[in-house]
């Protein structure tokens, strides 16, 4: 054994390998109270990943599950606007932890947007800073006991999804895609990313799928059909279902009242229910 008596000599400071990192302990404590951790990913932008993450969280909360929604898309946070919250996050005087914004009885949210006084401020950070804030979003936030923590990750396979995969022990991934070949090519990269970092895949969701024309009832395909299902089958991944394109999804998210909220109905809500049940069944 080495003599560690001079480990702090010269004012180097820092924790020795034998000294647990307090933030690591905070993260471990926080995660121990969360049953299911789901990272919502996409291979590319523009596939409706954040709106799906939001509607998934709202739908789970509406079923009575205690749900947290965490937005780690640090450069383009949109969750706060989609659930209709504003203002800065507060710190509990009792626990000295950040208090998530409460959206409903069973849903609470933390977003980068809630840390910035100017919502139009550009976030210009390198990788280590991103990792630091993601760790804080878990360990320094009073999530308390949750059935689900839904993490909205930025598109691609960069710093944020890697940090989430490495930090959130036991996390599982949901991948969102649209049916066209360009998106599906990037989905295959996301699937391989998950496998490379040992991130279990719950399955693949196809968004903006075929829908019935409101004028004539004819089925309209914005991109193509069955692309997500075929890709899932080819890659050996569970296909969780298709969500039809619906302008009301965009409108409701822009208004801060997601379409999955109680009282809403229609083809998208019915398809979302099928996907939510498939997700629950996989867990």
Q: What is the pLDDT of residue 32?
A: 93
Q: What is the pLDDT of residue 16?
A: 53
Q: What is the pLDDT of residue 205?
A: 96
42 is in an annotated binding site: no
228 is in an annotated binding site: no
47 is in an annotated binding site: yes
Q: What digits encode the pLDDT tens for the residues 85-103?
A: 777 767 777 777 888 889 9
102 is in an annotated binding site: no
Q: What is the pLDDT of residue 246?
A: 85
Q: What is the pLDDT of residue 76?
A: 60
251 is in an annotated binding site: no
Q: What is the pLDDT of residue 247?
A: 83
pTM of the model: 0.84
Q: What is the pLDDT of residue 120?
A: 56
DSSP for 41-98, written as a single string: EESSSSS-HHHHHHHHHHHHHHTT--EEEEE---SS--HHHHHT--S--EE-TTT-SE
48 is in an annotated binding site: yes
Q: Where are the domains of the chain?
A: 23-281
Q: What is the pLDDT of residue 10?
A: 45
- Is 23-281 in CATH node 2.60.40.10? no
Q: Which residues of the chain have pLDDT under 70?
A: 1-18, 75-77, 89, 113-128, 183, 223-225, 262
Q: What is the pLDDT of residue 113?
A: 58
Q: What is the pLDDT of residue 118?
A: 54
- Alpha carbon distances (Å) from 93 to 96, 99, 103, 139: 5, 10, 21, 16
């Amino acid at each position: 054994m080495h003599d560690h008596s001079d480990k702090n000599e010269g004012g180097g400071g820092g924790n020795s390998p034998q000294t647990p990192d307090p933030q690591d302990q905070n993260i471990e404590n926080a995660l121990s109270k969360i049953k299911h951790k789901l990272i919502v990913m996409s291979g590319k932008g523009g596939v409706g990943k954040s709106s799906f993450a939001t509607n998934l969280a709202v739908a789970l909360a509406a079923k009575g599950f205690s749900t947290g929604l965490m937005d780690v898309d640090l450069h383009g946070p949109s969750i706060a606007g989609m659930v209709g919250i504003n203002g800065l996050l507060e710190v509990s005087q009792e626990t000295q932890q950040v208090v998530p914004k409460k959206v409903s009885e069973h849903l609470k949210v933390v977003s980068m947007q809630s840390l910035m006084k100017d919502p139009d401020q550009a976030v210009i950070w390198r990788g280590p800073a991103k990792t630091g804030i993601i760790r804080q979003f878990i360990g320094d936030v009073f999530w308390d006991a949750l059935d689900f923590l839904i993490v909205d990750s930025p598109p691609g396979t960069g710093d944020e999804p890697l940090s989430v995969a490495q930090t959130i022990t036991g996390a599982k991934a949901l991948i969102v895609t649209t049916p066209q070949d360009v998106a599906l090519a990037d989905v295959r990269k996301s699937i391989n990313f998950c496998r490379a970092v040992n991130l279990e895949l719950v399955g693949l969701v196809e968004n903006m799928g075929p829908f019935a024309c409101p004028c004539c009832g004819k089925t309209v395909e914005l991109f193509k059909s069955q692309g997500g299902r075929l890709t899932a089958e080819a890659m050996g991944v569970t296909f969780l279902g298709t969500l039809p394109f619906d302008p009301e999804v965009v409108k409701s998210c822009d208004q801060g009242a997601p379409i999955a909220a109680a009282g809403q109905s229609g083809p998208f809500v019915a398809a979302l229910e099928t996907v939510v049940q498939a997700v629950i069944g996989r867990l």
